[in-house]
Each structure stands twice: as C-alpha cells, then as structure tokens.
Amino acid sequence: MLCPINSSPPYRSGTCEAQNTWHCCFGPTTSIQASLLVSASRNRNSYNMDIMNETKADGYMPALEAQGLVYEVQAKRLLDRVSLKAERGSFVGLIGPNGAGKSTLLKSVSGLMRAQEGSVSLEGIDLTATSTKQIARTLAQVSQTPPYTYGFTGVELVMMGRYPHMGRFQVEGAEDRRIAADAMRQTETEEFADRLVETLSGGERQRVFVAGALAQQPHVLLLDEPTSNLDILHQLKVLDIVQGLVQQGMTAIAAIHDLSLAARYCSTLVLMSGGRVLAEGAAEDVLTPSNIEAAFGVRTVVYRDPFTNTLSVSLLDQATATESVASGTRVHLVCGGGTGSRLMYELQRAGMTVTAGPLGGGDTDRSAADILGIEYVPVTAFGPIEAEARSQHLELVELADIVVLCDVPFGPNNTAMLGALSSARRLVIIEGTPLMDRDFTGGSALHFFEGLSPVARPQGTDEAVACVLGLASERTGEGQE
C-alpha cells in the first residue's frame, strides 16, 4: 500500500486478510487540519472550514463513539463492555497499566479488529456500514507495532498516507507531494526522506510514522504510545503537533503511559485496567491517588505543577516493613520554610497520620502538605497567628502522639505557636541549627524553649525520622501490653 513519489500507485499494497479489511500503514482519514498545512489547496481549505462549521452546528454528534465493546481471545476477555466517546476537537488520553486493554480498544474502534459485542460509530455512521477506504479517509492510526517497512524510504512511508485519497490508477500529484512534505516538516523528519526506514532509530522511525498519519489528513487520529522511544524533546514536540491539530478541530485519541504528559495534553482521560474503564473525565477527576493505586497498584502524590498549571504525578516509595509498626501513630509537625517537607513524606510513607502548622500562604511546607493531602493550620503569610489558628494548632498538638518541632526560624509573628508545645505528650526538637542563629525575637523564643521538655533532640531530618519511628514502636508496644 504505497504510492511512492516517482512511481505509479500502488505498486505495493497490502490487505489484512484475518479481518478481511484493507488498511493503510497508518490506519484508516480526511482533511480537518488542512488549514495547518500551508501548501494545501484552496478547495481543501474551504472543505476544511465546512467540516468545522458542521461541527459547530451538530456539536452533539461525537467524532467517534464505541458502546459496550467486548473482545475475547482464547477465553480471555481483553475488553469487557467498554464504552468510549470522543467529541470533535477533543484530545482523549487512554491511560492504564500494561495489558489494560488500551491497544485493543484502539484497534477495535479503528476497524482493524472487530469486537464480538458492541458497536462503533465514526462521525455518526456505523463502522461496519462504512467502506474501508472511506474509513481511511476519515481516521488515521499510528500503531504501537508498525507495519512491515523494510526497504522503504522515509518519504515513501509518508506517501502511503495519501493512498486513501487517490483513485485506483491515479498517480500522486504535486498536491500530494506538498502535503507529504508539510507533514515531514511538522514532525522534523525531512532529513529522513531518502533514508531507508530500517536505518532509523526507534524514535526517528516513530516520528516518520506520525508524519505519515498527518499526510493522511484525518478527522480522527488514533495513536498507540506515540511517544515511545522518543527523547524528552521529541515527546513534547509530537504531542505539541497533535495538540495543535486538535485546536484546529481534529479529534485525537492516544494511549499514553506517562500520566503527567497525559494530564498536560489531554482534555479527557480514560483510565483502564483489566479490560474495563475505571474512571473517565477531566484529569482532576481521574488522576486521584486512589484511582491510580486501583489501576497500577502503586502509591502516588498528585499535585498541580506551578509552572505548567497541569497535574503532575509522582511515585511514592511503596509500603515498608515499618508501616505496620507506625500505622495509627499521629504526628504533628511544627515547621515552615521547607523544614518539614521531607519529614511529612517519610512519616506519611511509614503509615503515620501527619498534621502540620501553622503554615502561611506560599510556604514550601504548606505546598508539600497540599500535595501529600496532609491536614494543616492555615495562616496569613508573614502575619500574626490569630486566636482561631492558635486554637486549631493546640487541638492538633493535643491529638498527636508525637510532636516534632523542626529547625524553623522564629520571629515576632510565629513565637505564639510555641506555647502549645507544653501540651505535647512526646516532644521531639530538631536542633540542626543552634537556636541563637534562628531566634529573631530578641530572646522571646529562647524563653519558650527553656520551658519545654523534649524526649529527644535529633540533629537533622534523618535522625528525626529514626527517632519518631522508635517512639512509634515504643507506643505500639505499650498499647499491646
């Protein structure tokens, strides 16, 4: 299925006899993003605007919809009544562990595999009632496992994307060559035009496959792990290309392993596991620690990246042997300025219930508490601690089994929180930096310190973690007695 630039089409062709379905190397598409291709003809651009106007007029018709798909192989159900809806101009991200069913779903909605149950409609038309060539004019696919490409050059591979738009004996024209060239420019693959595909690296080859899909000018673009084998720069470039096409009205559905990238680029996420959909919707609704743990079996923190303003996912160290010992222990951290962030993480990781505060707006420790879902006493940044906040702070101190006073500087506005520490059951004071170097109160903080009776004075965070774990173990032993 190739229409090389200097030959009669198609002197290489292919069929998928298992499904009795012809398919292009890049899957089954038409031209909704032709306006992005500078060299596209005026007629095609006009047609593109008609499509976009039609989208606005009947915006309730999804670009692609699947209902109740069931697909089984050797009595193993790979898709278990999966439904999927992709609105026009949306970027849907399929996320989930290996074997979740993402690739099977993409193959099913593209027509490459037919589900035993359920239905698929493409722009409102049943896929089974649509010719394979029409599908190929409307939908393109970049597969995780590429087709046989040995002996083809990069430009020949990209020109395959033009085949659905050509008649049986039609030779590719200048327009087709311009569209292919533009697709290669967009994906920065021009230098690979005359290179044999087998001489390209995995990442270079992947970008050529994406270029071929763009040359197909689809309304709907399916991508199975489009960033696999790509370096960080080209991961972003490929997804930027797709996002740009989506902003022009194309619909994209992509299986993406990187959860943070999926949240950054996709308007809708579909979380799959075991052939089922666990959650779908906006990233904020799908990427929760509980959903991620249910799908992947790992513990994570989900937070909003301050630079991109999108959700980011970080893996936590998994459960340790100390978790059962420390579980149920309440620890309150008196911290600020980043002195408590690592303690929050280590103690929560050990299974403890951690609280913190008072913490002012913009404080690093407050951001860490938000990320980890830790309860804290909020106060105004650089302002005095009001009576209500002091009361909340005292309540958390009294509830805690252990209170840790971190290596925090003291000024006139935060010394008030020290008075509550006399109510601590077990007080740990971290003294990595001498108090005299942290006391900016003219001696008031030192006066409070002299009245405290800590059970330990570790010199840093590592010692403090070990100390708190030891105290938690003692507490557990006392409880068992």
Same domain, 376 and 268: no
Residue 368: its H or E element: helix 364-372
Residues 76-96: tens digit of each pLDDT: 999 999 999 999 999 999 999
Has residue 319 got a pLDDT over 70?
no
307 in a structural domain: no
Same domain, 279 and 227: yes
**Do 286 and 310 form a contact (C-beta atoms < 8 A)?**
no
Has residue 371 got a pLDDT over 60?
yes
CA distances in angstroms from 272 to 117, 166, 299, listed in the order given = 18, 38, 17
Bridge partners, residue 79, by sequence:
71
DSSP code at position 30? -
Has this prediction a pTM greater than 0.85? Answer: no
Same domain, 272 and 346: no
DSSP output for 309-348:
-SEEEEEPP---THHHHHTT-EEEEE--TTSSHHHHHHHH
Q: What is the pLDDT at residue 339? A: 93
Of 237, 264, 287, which residue sits at a domain end?
A: 287
For 400: left if phi > 0, alpha if psi spans -120 to 50, otherwise beta; the answer is: beta
Of 261, 287, 313, which residue sits at a domain end?
A: 287
- Residue for token digits 């084998």? 229
Report which of residues 251 and 27 the model is more confident about: 251
DSSP output for 45-81:
HHHHHHHHHHHHHTTTS-SEEEEEEEEEETTEEEEEE
Residues 214-234: tens digit of each pLDDT: 999 999 999 999 988 788 988
Same domain, 222 and 80: yes
Q: What is the pLDDT at residue 60? A: 64
Q: Distance between CA 357 and CA 392 in Å, rounded? A: 9
Residues 250-262: tens digit of each pLDDT: 999 999 999 999 9
What token pair was written down for 51? 């499509």
Same domain, 215 and 72: yes
Same domain, 276 and 359: no
Of 244, 267, 287, which residue sits at a domain end?
A: 287
23 in a structural domain: no
336 in a structural domain: yes
406 in a structural domain: yes
Same domain, 333 and 223: no
Cis peptide leading into 358, omega within 30 of 0? yes
26 in a structural domain: no
Cis peptide leading into 10, omega within 30 of 0? yes
Mean pLDDT of the chain, nearest integer: 83
Q: What is the pLDDT at residue 444? A: 80
What token pair was written down for 435? 């108090």
Q: What is the pLDDT at residue 260? A: 96
Q: What is the pLDDT at residue 128? A: 87
**Do 195 and 153 form a contact (C-beta atoms < 8 A)?**
yes
- Residue 385 — φ and ψ, nearest 5°? -85, 115
Same domain, 115 and 248: yes
244 in a structural domain: yes
Same domain, 176 and 282: yes
- In the Cβ-directed half-sphere of 218, how many Cα atoms lie within 13 Å? 35
Has residue 37 got a pLDDT over 70?
no
Query: Which distant-in-sequence residues (6+ apart) come within 8 Å of 165 by Cβ?
Result: 137, 176, 216, 217
**Do 180 and 9 form a contact (C-beta atoms < 8 A)?**
no
Domain count, the chain: 2
Has residue 4 got a pLDDT over 80?
no
Query: Which CATH number goes with the domain that contains 166?
Result: 3.40.50.300
Q: Which domain holds residue 358?
A: 322-480
Residues in the chain: 481
CA angle 224, 225, 226 (to 5 degrees): 95
Query: Which CATH number goes with the domain that contains 373?
Result: 3.40.50
Same domain, 63 and 185: yes
**Do 247 and 241 form a contact (C-beta atoms < 8 A)?**
no
Torsion, Cα 283 284 286 287, to 10 degrees, reads 90
377 in a structural domain: yes
Same domain, 283 and 340: no
Give which of 157, 160, 89, 145 is closest to 112, Cα–Cα. Answer: 145
Give which of 98, 52, 48 is closest to 297, Cα–Cα. Answer: 98
DSSP output for 385-418:
--HHHHHHHHHHHHH-SEEEE-S--B-TTTGGGG
Torsion, Cα 183 186 190 193, to 10 degrees, reads -30
**Do 183 and 245 form a contact (C-beta atoms < 8 A)?**
no
Has residue 471 got a pLDDT over 80?
yes
22 in a structural domain: no
For 442: left if phi > 0, alpha if psi spans -120 to 50, otherwise beta; the answer is: left
419 CB-contact burial (10 Å; exposed 0-12 / middle 13-18 / buried 19+): middle
- The percentage of the chain sitting over the pLDDT mark of 90, rounded to a whole number, equals 54
Same domain, 55 and 194: yes
Residues 176-213: tens digit of each pLDDT: 999 999 999 988 999 999 999 999 988 888 889 989 99
Has residue 165 got a pLDDT over 50?
yes
Cα-Cα end-to-end distance for the chain: 77
- Candidate from 244-248, 325-329, 377-381 with smallest mean pLDDT: 325-329
Has residue 343 got a pLDDT over 50?
yes
- Residue for token digits 């070990």? 466
User: In angstroms, how far is CA 253 from the centroid of its own chain?
Assistant: 14
